[in-house]
Structure 1
Amino acid sequence: MINLLVVDNHPIVRKGIELLFVTSPHIQVVGGVGNGEAIFEFLKENRVDIILCEIDLPKLNGLTALRRLKKDFPEVKTIIFSAQPEGIYAINAIKAGADGYLSKTAGIITLKEAILRVHEGGTYLSNDMEEQMKKGRRVGRSGSYYRKLSTREIEVLKLISSGRKNKEIAAELNINEKTVSTYKARLMKKLQVDNIVDLISRAKLLEL
């Protein structure tokens, strides 16, 4: 039996996935939490094989949580299950330590397939994403911009666009405020903007 932890800030999503697998002979939802920090508290007390995790989470975002998971709980596998654009976030999620990336538009059969593949030691990406990787390019018009950014830069950009202040970003990523300012300067240069307002606007535009 595969023990699955669902991490999503929407209770209806957590409950829906729990009900989805209630009669499954292979997959059992052992819990659900609504923020990134709660993942680690849960793992201290419970055995989990796979985490199904959203990127947009309170307290600790999904990409940052991935880094900690690979350090503190390397035996636990993680599938990012998100509404965020696959063409922008999938590769960076894999780089950060994810074992798979699945869009929330995927069907039930695809979700089960992803969980089983990752449990068997494989990596799950959609057929379209795998094809794009083979061709060496990203999906979507915004890919040319995001291709310039490192995984850490995308983490910082995500937090900036969600309204976090430098001090909050520094605390969440475990870096100092000066480093956050450096990342902001790099992001503005790479995304060709001159101020923080335009940077946030560009970040939101790229996610459309």
Structure 2
Amino acid sequence: MNILLADHHPVFRRGLRSIMKDHKEFSFKAKVDDGNDLIRSITYHHPDVLILEMDLPNTQGIGTLRGIRSHFPDLKILVVSSHPEEIYAVSAVKAGANGYISKTRSIKETRKSLLAIARGETYLSENIKSQLDNKNNKDVLKFKKLSTREIEVLNLLSKGRRNKEIAKALSINEKTVSTYKTRLLKKLKVDNIADLIHQSRLLQIAS
């Protein structure tokens, strides 16, 4: 798994690379410490995973995350931050991150999060999932069932896009779009596209 590490704290970068060097499944191919170099580095190095600091200089946080997802739809993105998880984690995932983890978390959990998103899962810490569950928020629980790509498809459906337009926007084929729609109907427990769009609005996924 080739990793591009985008973080402007030298101690964090060196520490993460040093501690993770014993895990052969990870290979840190490059580092970025400024947002001005981010897109160019992703294009040049073709990483499997981007570890992205939320406050990377010369970036716009969630806005930058959305831009990266738009340009690189297949890139796995793990957001790392010192911000409170309960405030930013779900927002980061909605914006296109495959996972969110606090910089205060252990190396063991960081490794766990990387492996999870490499498998195509969406990763939130047990702590934040527990907090969300304790809120007894059914909308949040439904949202947590969706993958990043399913959210993207749902977002485009809510804007009235047809299968062909969704396929073009996400660089996938129309058959794959249909598969995602079927999954969404099942996961959100609805019978038709109109109800699916209604659910997207309840979940506040649609822009």
- Give the drift of 1:23: 3.0
Q: 1:23 to 1:60 in 2, by over 3 A?
A: same
Asked whether the 8 Å contact 1:114–1:124 carries over to 2, the reply is: yes
Length, aligned pairs only: 137
Shift in Å at residue 137 of structure 1?
6.5
2:43 corresponds to: 44
Give the deviation of 1:133 after TM superposition. 2.7
With the length of structure 1 as denominator, give the TM-score of the two structures.
0.62
**Match of 1:23?**
22
What is the deviation of 1:130? 1.3
> Matches of residues 189-200 of structure 1 in structure 2 within 5 Å?
none
**Superposition map of 1:1-208 within 5 A:** 2-136=1-135
> SS state of the match for residue 115, structure 2?
helix
Q: Is the 8 A contact 2:4 2:42 kept in 1?
A: no
CA distance in 1, matches of 2:24, 2:8: 27
What displacement does 1:103 show? 0.6
TM-fit CA distance, 1:124: 0.9
Q: Report how far residue 12 of structure 1 moved.
A: 1.9
CA contact (8 A) 1:36 1:62 kept: no
**Distance in 1 between the 2:89 and 2:135 partners?**
14
Any conservation in 2 of the 1:53–1:62 contact (CA below 8 Å)?
A: no
Cα separation, 2, equivalents of 1:137 and 1:87? 14
Cα shift readout 1:15-44 (whole Å, capped 9, x = no counterpart): 222222223210111111112232211012
TM-score between the two structures when normalised by the length of structure 2: 0.62
5+ long unaligned stretches in structure 2: 138-207
Contact kept in structure 2, 1:5 and 1:32, CA below 8 Å: yes
8 Å contact 1:80–1:93 — kept in the other structure?
A: yes
| Structure 2 SS opposite 1:67 | helix
Q: Distance in 2 between matches of 1:136 and 1:68?
A: 31
SS at match of 2:4: strand
| Aligned CA-pair RMSD | 1.6
**What residue in structure 1 maps to residue 200 of structure 2?**
none
Partner SS, residue 30 of structure 1: strand
What CA deviation, in whole Å up to 9, does each residue of 1:84-107 have, x standing for no partner?
111111111111111111011111
